[in-house]
Amino acid sequence: MSIRVLLVEDEPAIADFVVRGLREEGFVVDHQADGPGGLHALRGGTWDVALLDWWLPGFDGLTVLKRYRDEGGTCPVLFLTARDAISDRVRGLDGGADDYLCKPFAFEELLARVRALVRRPARAADSTLSVADVSADLTSQRVTRAGHRLELTAKEYALLVFFLRHPEEVLSRTRIYGAVWDERYDGISNTLEVHVKELRRKLEADGSRLIHTLRGRGYRFGISGEGE
Ligand code: CA
């Protein structure tokens, strides 16, 4: 069966490039160019993945997503964001985005992300993310491990939510930076390491290792398997 993708994007050049590329891969693609049209299409269709631009005419992508999720919509959503357009990605994660891709992006990367989202089991309609004995309530931002509450900073919370959305995946530093921070990984900065260290200190104080370092590749979040 064909994979059905909804693209909500107002820039014609990007829309053409994405629509053409996905159709060449055999996907069924519908395109909407503004917020109201995107929300209408999201509500009315059965989509395997929705690609949502942040800045849209009418109302923005975050509004589309929040309204759709508030109504119980469960389609996986990948945000397409300009590099410097978002000052706080926590809002997007809380709004129910499953992943981010920063513009400009390579088509191959978009394709890989779309395929990863399609493979993922259907999301629960509720607002709790859980992996092993860790849970994050996206409404209250309350995080627990084995029932014990953890006090996290906004960035640690955003990082943990990203990990919880991608259990057992190999997550490169570039990808984590793109999703949690407003910047591309420069290959030098240790911002991520510092936050991982602090998150580990809080998260793994009384439990087993969850954030595994994969030397030269990034991180993996999960209970078992390879990594330090
Ligand atoms: Ca736009």
Residue 212: strand pairing partners: 220
Cα–ligand 1 centroid distance for 54 (angstroms): 6
Q: What is the average per-residue pLDDT within 48-63?
A: 93
Averaged pLDDT for residues 110-137: 82
What percentage of residues in the chain have a pLDDT greater than 70? 88
177 CA distance to ligand 1 centroid (A)? Answer: 21
pTM metric for this prediction: 0.58
pLDDT digits (tens, 9 = 90+) for 173-223: 888 887 787 566 677 788 899 999 999 999 998 788 999 999 989 999 998
CA 126 to centroid of ligand 1, rounded, Å: 29
Other beta carbons within 10 angstroms of residue 38's beta carbon come to 30
- Residue 87's pLDDT is 55
CA of 17 to the centre of ligand 1 (A): 14
Binned at pLDDT 50, 70 and 90, residue 21 comes out as very high
Ligand 1 centroid–CA 60 distance in Å is 8
CA distance 167 to 130: 10
Beta-strand runs (E) in 105-210: 128-131, 134-137, 142-145, 148-150
Ligand 1 center from residue 118 Cα (angstroms): 24
